Amino acid sequence: MKKTVFFLIFIFVFSSNSYAFDRKGFSPTAPFSVISTFSAESPRQNQVAIDFSFELASDPDIKRTNLNISYGLTNNVEILANLPYNLSYNNSINSNGPEDINFGFKHRIINETTYLPAFAYMLYVSGPLGDDEFTTEGGLGGGFIVTKKVGPVKAHGNLIYFKPSKEGLKQIWNLNLGSELRVSYNSSILLEIIGRKAIDKNKIDLIEWRLGYRVRVTDFSYTNVSTGFDIKNNSPDFRFMFGISLVLPGEKPYFKRIVKDTD
| 216-232: pLDDT as tens digits | 999 999 999 999 988 87
Give the confidence band of 209 by pLDDT, cuts at 50, 70, 90: very high
- Are 97 and 83 spatial neighbours (Cβ–Cβ below 8 Å)? no
Give the confidence band of 76 by pLDDT, cuts at 50, 70, 90: very high
- Are 178 and 34 spatial neighbours (Cβ–Cβ below 8 Å)? yes
- Are 151 and 157 spatial neighbours (Cβ–Cβ below 8 Å)? no
User: Which tens digits make up the pLDDT trace of 128-143?
Assistant: 986 777 889 999 999 9
Residue 201 has pLDDT above 80, yes or no: yes
DSSP secondary structure string for all residues of 208-263? EEEEEEEEE-SSSEEEEEEEEEETTTTS-EEEEEEEEEEEES--PPP---------
Tell me which CATH code domain 2-248 carries: 2.40.160.40
Given phi > 0 = left and psi -120 to 50 = alpha, else beta, which region is 59? left
Residue 84 has pLDDT above 70, yes or no: yes
Residue 242 has pLDDT above 80, yes or no: yes
Listed residue (105, 96, 106, 102) closest to 68, CA to CA: 102
pLDDT at 134: 83
Higher local confidence (pLDDT), 9 or 109: 109
Helices (H), the chain: 2-14
Q: How far apart are CA 225 and CA 227, in angstroms?
A: 7
Give the confidence band of 7 by pLDDT, cuts at 50, 70, 90: very low
Average model confidence (pLDDT) across the chain: 86
Give the confidence band of 19 by pLDDT, cuts at 50, 70, 90: very low
Q: Write the CB contacts of 223 (distance below 8 Å, at least 6 apart in sequence).
A: 214, 215, 217, 242, 243, 244, 245
pLDDT at 253: 60
Predicted TM-score (pTM) of this structure: 0.85
* Amino acid (one-letter) located at 217: V
pLDDT at 8: 43
- Are 140 and 102 spatial neighbours (Cβ–Cβ below 8 Å)? no
- Average pLDDT over every residue of 179-201: 93
Angle at 31 between CA 121 and CA 99, to 5 degrees: 70
Maximal C-alpha separation, the chain: 78
pLDDT at 11: 40
Residue 56 has pLDDT above 50, yes or no: yes
